[in-house]
Amino acid sequence: MADYLTFLGRIAPAAEQGARDYLAAFARRCGRELGSDELRRALAQGDGDPVLMGLIRASYQEDTVARMHWVAQIGCPTSGRQ
């Protein structure tokens, strides 16, 4: 996971920070760590997970209020991994 986050940071620092926020909020809210495969899917599937994309945007804009909004929107899978 660390290598993947470092890679994101090289491409776009806001993407790395948004992903870190997403991972931390997911772990707090759902009680487990998100796997790197799950994070990659959240970034790449379709237009990307709207919450993750919102966190990246909030990080880029340095918008703390938007960040808190998006963190509150994180959902936990009801069964198994997403």
Summarised one tens digit per residue, pLDDT across range 26-60 is: 999 999 999 989 999 999 989 999 999 999 999 99
Q: Is residue 42 part of a domain?
A: yes
| Domain range for 16 | 2-72
| Total of domains in the chain | 1
Q: Is residue 51 part of a domain?
A: yes
Q: Is residue 60 part of a domain?
A: yes
Place of tokens 């759902």: 30
Given this model, what pLDDT does residue 82 score? 45
Supply the pTM of this predicted model.
0.86
> Across all residues in the chain, what is the average pLDDT?
91
Q: Is residue 26 part of a domain?
A: yes
Q: Is residue 28 part of a domain?
A: yes
Is 19 a residue whose pLDDT tops 60?
Answer: yes
Handedness of CA 44, 41, 47, 8 (dihedral sign): negative
Given this model, what pLDDT does residue 78 score? 73
Q: Is residue 82 part of a domain?
A: no
Q: Which residue has the higher pLDDT, 1 or 54?
A: 54
Q: Is residue 59 part of a domain?
A: yes
